[in-house]
Amino acid sequence: MRMARIAVASLSAAAVLRCGGPAADDARRTLPPERVQACDTLLDELAAANLTEGAEDELVRLMEAADANAAPCTEVYVAQARSPGERALAAHRGRDFLFHALALEASLSRRFDAMSGYCEIVADTVTLLFEGIADLEVTLTDPTLPDSPRRRLVELRDLDLEALDVFVAANERECLSPVGD
């Protein structure tokens, strides 16, 4: 679980990279700042969750909040973005809610459910990491993306690849080894 937490922390830390660039759509609707703040506050609460010692009901509450707010908060973040680089970062940041939900679900499985469904959670996490990397790659193929945001998105993609390596290594023995190993 420590390695899964490292992977989530790596992704969360990477999400603070700013991708600037000229506004692609100055007419983009500006959302009330309290909606962005509410999403940021929840991400902070999720990052601070104690996966190893937290009470089961608190972990369930946080998992459900992360899952329920993933799509709305992603929309909030993306609506604030003004360039392709910012949109890619916003989508990545919204994906952090799903990573936290999976990390909480994995902790609940390990601590309270005798690993029931744990390997499926690991598979979902690996899939989510691959999807995030693929989305970043699509943005990086945009020839209009300025150099500074491109460099930051490359750094973010590289952090995601590292997180994937760490996560797979941490879970390889329990869930990812071929049958018979």
Q: What is the pLDDT of residues 99-128, one digit of tens each?
A: 999 999 999 999 999 999 999 999 999 999
Answer yes or no: is 23 within a domain: no
8 Å CB contact between 49 and 100: yes
Q: Which tokens hold the place of 17?
A: 């990279």
8 Å CB contact between 77 and 93: yes
- pTM for the whole structure: 0.80
8 Å CB contact between 9 and 46: no
| pLDDT-derived band at 179, boundaries 50, 70, 90 | low
Answer yes or no: is 125 within a domain: yes
> Which tens digits make up the pLDDT trace of 5-61?
444 444 443 333 333 333 333 334 556 789 999 999 999 999 999 999 999 999 999
Answer yes or no: is 26 within a domain: no
Query: What is the number of other CB atoms lying within 10 angstroms of the CB of residue 77?
Result: 25
Answer yes or no: is 142 within a domain: yes
SS (H, E, C) 34-95: HHHHHHHHHHHHHHCCCCCCCCHHHHHHHHHHHHHHHHHHHHHHHHHCCCHHHHHHHHHHHH
Answer yes or no: is 135 within a domain: yes
The residue segments making up the domain with residue 151 are: 2-14+32-172
Answer yes or no: is 71 within a domain: yes
8 Å CB contact between 82 and 26: yes
Answer yes or no: is 25 within a domain: no
**Domain of residue 99, CATH code:** 1.20.1260
| Domain count within the chain | 1
| pLDDT on residue 72 | 96
> Which tens digits make up the pLDDT trace of 115-167?
999 999 999 999 999 999 999 999 999 999 999 999 999 999 999 999 999 99
Answer yes or no: is 19 within a domain: no
